Amino acid sequence: MLAISGGAAGAQTVGDWVLGNYKGAGYWFPGVAEKVQGGKVTIRYDDGDRETVSVDDVRPYNWTIGMKVECNYKNAGDWYGGTITSLGGEKIGIAYDDGDKEVTKTGRCRSR
């Protein structure tokens, strides 16, 4: 296992579940660190996308019940704010701010 230190990521190793700043857009998506080398991390995001980013664009996975996130409601392409109500692997329960609820996949959610 390789470890990286310093920067926003702290100590991450291959196989860790992380949050990546996908395309540097300021949204943090969950995924798994597939490769860690030379200040770069390759992330396989929970939605299937892959990206190699600077260590500064990786955070330890920190989602918890009660945390605010945005999710792609019913995978229809629109993002809505809500609160995590349950977590189990890649399944996540969301209580949306408008009163709707759903259990979806972590790959359909993001945080700021």
**pTM score:** 0.87
CA angle 112, 55, 92 (to 5 degrees): 40
The confidence score (pLDDT) of residue 9 equals 43
DSSP H helical ranges for 10-72: none
Residue type, 108: R
Q: What pLDDT does 93 receive?
A: 98
What is the SS3 assignment for 35? strand
For the chain, 112 residues long, give each residue's pLDDT as a single digit of tens.
334 334 444 447 899 999 999 999 999 999 999 999 999 999 999 999 999 999 989 999 999 999 999 999 999 999 999 999 999 989 999 999 999 999 999 999 999 9
Catalogue the E-assigned strands of 7-49.
12-13, 17-21, 28-37, 40-45
The per-residue pLDDT for 38 is: 92
